[in-house]
Structure 1
């Protein structure tokens, strides 16, 4: 697979630890029409440090932010450790729902409000992910064409999904899926 979705390094760290299972998307400035489009339902998580700020995550997980910074290799290289499969896409416009989903994400209330209020005419999408950790993380070159405010990246080289391990067991994911989906029925 060569497709990756850019996400804050701290979120990728939380995903690896099994304490974050959702992504929020409206679209990056470099995305077509500046709107998010689910181009692929399977993709690598491409850790980025752009726009990542400690006040945008819950204080109880600030140590993860520091850990993500320690994992920074260089401007020229990064580590692909996880991939995801989208299992649900939900339009969300209510802060109350996002706050009810707090057990499944690490975003701060300040960040959630900011995302909802930024370009309110555009839809905000919540993606439910089934995530996997690569047994052999891949160190890749961080090419110039990967930079900028865009959601999707076509990686230079193919990376194999095998071997990889689900971050949550099948049963735990079924429970998670049911709990999150119930907020949108």
Structure 2
């Protein structure tokens, strides 16, 4: 069974360009009572255009915002592998991660306090581009504010990691030092 993680198109593009390797996640309104959990350690990136907010992106990334180029279709560009995951229960620690990812400090703080549950997850990801993007029709089952989308059994033709392993480990070390 292959699953996909919904993430803003802008952040997905930053990951697939190798500009970033870190996501800060809280979960959507339709998540379970406990919120977002890392249910899969290998998943496809599902770029979403819903709720992208330029005010929540750091200024240097706002030029990547775009409208959905093909409404009704999902283009899955890459496989992500979780290298490290941290549940962060200190706002100060969460805010220290601002330089390593795309969200503003205000967006991190809003997510941290979302639903009066003070925490976020930080996911360090190894990204492997697909040799050809997988293009799927967006079905009603894929819609909604959920993080994980089951895709069934599909072939995932992956390439080499975008970031060399040594550089990814340096990014991991920087993350751990900030925490």
TM-score (norm 2): 0.90
2:35 match: 35
Q: Secondary structure at the match of 2:33?
A: helix
Q: Which shifted more, 164-173 or 17-26?
A: 17-26
5+ residue gaps, structure 1: none
Q: Which shifted more, 141-150 or 74-83?
A: 74-83
TM-score (norm 1): 0.87
2:127 match: 131
Pairing 1:63–2:57 present: no
Against the structure 1 CA distance between its residues 143 and 157, is the aligned structure 2 distance closer, same or farther, given a 3 Å change threshold?
Answer: farther
5+ residue gaps, structure 2: none
1:182 match: 177
Q: Which shifted more, 42-51 or 32-41?
A: 32-41
Post-superposition Cα deviations, 1:60-105, rounded to whole Å, max 9, x if no partner, equal 1211113xx3xx3333112110111111111223444344333321
Residue pair 2:22, 2:122 contacting (<8 A) in 1 also: yes
Post-superposition Cα deviations, 1:14-52, rounded to whole Å, max 9, x if no partner, equal 111212222222222222225112211000011111111
Q: Matched residue pairs, number?
A: 179
Q: Secondary structure at the match of 1:119?
A: helix
1:163 match: 158
Deviation at 1:164, TM superposition (A): 1.4
